[in-house]
Amino acid sequence: MKSKLNHMNEFKNLTQARRLMGFSYLGSVSETVKHKKSIKYGELTYSLYLAPAKTSGYEVCSGRTSECTKFCMNESGMNTMTQNIKGDVINRSRIKKTRLFFEDPEFFMRWLIAEIQSGITRAKKLGYFFSIRLNNTSDISPEDFVYKGKNILDIFPDIQFYDYTKIVDRVKLLNVYKNYDLTYSYTGYNWDICQEMLNNNIRVAVVFKKVPKIFMGYKVIDGDLYDMRFHDNEPLIVGLIYKRVRVKLTPDIKFVIQ
């Protein structure tokens, strides 16, 4: 299927892709506030931010609730600050990237692979560990990132990938791919599933106004200290501080423990 983004060219290199698409990168290596923290641990993290929910016209968060859609972290942090200065450039860029993923997956994947290879090279030069998080504002299976019949986990079998998800069936991938790590997310309405995950040694992320030490009888760690969840070996609660977005949080919102 030809892209609706009006390019008919094959991917040649990063410079050509940037010029053709009108944005500088698909993902970045330890550039966001969240992933810069990896550097002090001697690690680099490649992170990809797509347009969440169905804002691009394509669904990327099939497990989302109405609450997480309304209070999506896509509208927090650097995105909000940039909007106040330069307008909606980040969201427009994320929409273009997401449409590229669906409309011209080969071009997208060749670009993605080139950026990841560049990140791996950089990490090796520094003597750093390298990891990848493809879903920061999306929830797409890594098995859907496919190039020439191989998904991204098979393309880079020696690289650590990790995700957060609200999709129960995604945990099945943990039994298939040794280089994939997953944290399940509390929605405010799925504690029974969360408890089942914890009982099966799968950690659970919960959003709090203030992170406690214990929640529902389980140990809680501060998930904002670092993002590389594959370092958390025991079944526990990953406590994430609520990030303020444009919509005001009200007491009836269930996914944030207030």
181 — phi, psi (to 5°)? -125, 145
Decide: 65 and 255 in contact? Cβ < 8 Å: yes
Instruction: Give me 121's structure tokens.
Output: 């090279």
Lookup result for tokens 């590229």? 100
pLDDT at 114: 97
Asked if pLDDT for residue 185 goes beyond 90, the answer is yes
Digit-coded pLDDT (tens) for 140-152: 999 999 999 999 9
Q: How much is the pLDDT for 139?
A: 97
**C-alpha–C-alpha distance, residues 234 and 246, integer Å:** 35
- For 31, the token pair is 């550039």
CA atoms of 109 and 238, how far apart (whole Å): 31
Q: How far apart are CA 8 and CA 2, in angstroms?
A: 7
Round to whole Å and give the CA distance between 220 and 14: 41
Has residue 174 got a pLDDT over 90? yes
Please give the model's pTM, rounded to 2 decimal places.
0.91
Query: Measuring CA to CA, which residue among 145, 171, 169, 167 is closest to residue 156?
Result: 145
Helix, strand, coil % (nearest 5) of the chain? 40, 20, 45
Of 17, 228, 192, the C-alpha closest to 108 is 17
Structure confidence at residue 3 (pLDDT) = 46
Q: Which residue has the higher pLDDT, 15 or 77?
A: 15
What is the average pLDDT across 20-40?
92
Judged by DSSP in three states, 28 sits in: strand
Residues 153, 170: Cα–Cα separation, whole Å: 14
